[in-house]
Structure 1
Amino acid sequence: MKIFIDGDASPVKQDVVEIATNHQVEVVIVTSVDHFTTKEYPANVSVVYVDKGQDMADFRIVSLIQKCDILVTQDYGLASLVLAKARVIHHSAWEYTTDNIDLLLAQRYHGGQLRKAGHRTKGPKPYTDEQRYSFRRILTKVLNEQLAIKAD
């Protein structure tokens, strides 16, 4: 079992690394070469760089992710592609499910249509300490559930 991070715009990379390290779980950060870093990570963390281009990180994640893995992403489309084999968590501390993904994709489509028509839509609000705490709590919960499944 691994935790994958859609790393281009994730505000929770360090939180995931810390929690995974405490649980002795591997982390794979997938990000564009545009976000290359010399940052040192613990031994359980690897960084996969992909070429520039729309959805390149998404395609790599889809090809790498396995059953029982966990993905952290804010990308609804990517979430929908891996939901059948992995648990998927948004950094705003909620989990993508088969019950909510269709509505999320419809909202994304509607927002895109509004922007295409020239309407302005609101962007995300700044990430708060409360959201970070909630994210850490849900990631720990999901990770413990996945570890329990793996142990069986």
Structure 2
Amino acid sequence: MLHNCTLYIDADACPVTREALSCARRARVSVVIVGNTTQNLERHVRRDDPRDAGNARGRDATHPGFWAETLDVSCGSDSADFAIVERLQPNDVVVTQDIGLASMVLGRGAAAIGVRGRVYTKATIDMDLFIRHEEKKVRRAGGRTRGPAAFTDEDRARFTRNLDELLRQGGEEPGDVRGA
């Protein structure tokens, strides 16, 4: 890892929280799991995981820098998104299914990765937002749009591979991370 970054997990309906935590442990970066108060975010954290930076440094040589924190937010629309954005630093990494949050993350100089392993980039985020907007217009007019494909083991493997690479690069936009 080139820079000291934090991994934020938008945990509302996130199917890869366990994989994201494993990647963070390997990369020795801190993690903040963010979700609404109706979830039990603590279930994702191991009992022996350090819970703050002070304990991470003194724990042992295999885990310096890794620690996990949970952040409960209200159930309001986009509460988790705004809680993440207000804490972001350049080169942090955010796991999210939300293209709107991904756009805000990129605007703050951080990196965003989707749960299927797609790394969002500044070069493509405007088109992603446009497509989302057009699909929303179709649905509001009573039309139907195609939903996402079933989540697969290949998606999970791509996510893990690409998140490992992002964390190795310290949250900087990668040159060779394969999208979904």
TM-score by length of 1: 0.91
* Structure 2 CA distance for aligned equivalents of residues 147 and 109 of structure 1: 27
Shift of 1:125: 2.0
Match of 2:145 in 1: 121
Q: Give the distance between the partners of 1:40 and 1:115, measured in 2 at CA.
A: 35
Query: Unpaired runs of 5+ in structure 1?
Result: none
Query: Does residue 75 in structure 1 map to residue 98 in structure 2?
Result: yes
Q: Would the aligned equivalents of 2:117 and 2:159 in 1 still touch at CA under 8 Å?
A: yes
Distance, in Å, in 2 between the alignment partners of 1:90 and 1:74 is 5
2:119 maps to 1:87: no
1:52 matches 2:66: no
Percent identity, aligned pairs only, is 37
User: Hey, what does 1:66 align to over in structure 2?
Assistant: 89
Uncovered stretches (5+) of structure 2, i.e. residues with no partner: 51-66, 173-180
Deviations 1:75-95 (A, max 9, x none): 111111110310111111111
1:31 is paired with a residue of what secondary structure?
strand
Q: Does the CA-based 8 Å contact 2:24-2:31 persist in structure 1?
A: yes
How much has 1:22 moved relative to structure 2?
1.8
Please state if 1:10 is matched with 2:34: no
Higher mean displacement: 139-148 or 19-28: 139-148
Please report how far the alpha carbon of residue 122 of structure 1 lies from its aligned counterpart in structure 2 after TM superposition: 2.2
**Which consecutive segments of 4 or more residues in structure 1 shift more than 6 A?**
none
Whether contact under 8 Å (2:35, 2:41) holds in the other structure is no
* RMSD of aligned residue pairs (Cα, Å): 1.5
Q: SS of the counterpart of 1:8?
A: coil
Counterpart amino acid of residue 98 in structure 2: D
* Larger RCO, structures 1/2 (Cα 8 Å, 6+ apart): 2
**What number of residue pairs does the alignment pair up?**
148
Question: Residue 29 of structure 1 aligns to a residue in which SS?
Answer: strand
Higher strand share: 1
- Which structure: larger Rg? 2
Return 115-124 or 2-11, whichever deviates more.
115-124
**Partners of 1:96 and 1:78 in 2: how far apart?**
11
**Are 1:131 and 2:135 matched, yes or no?**
no
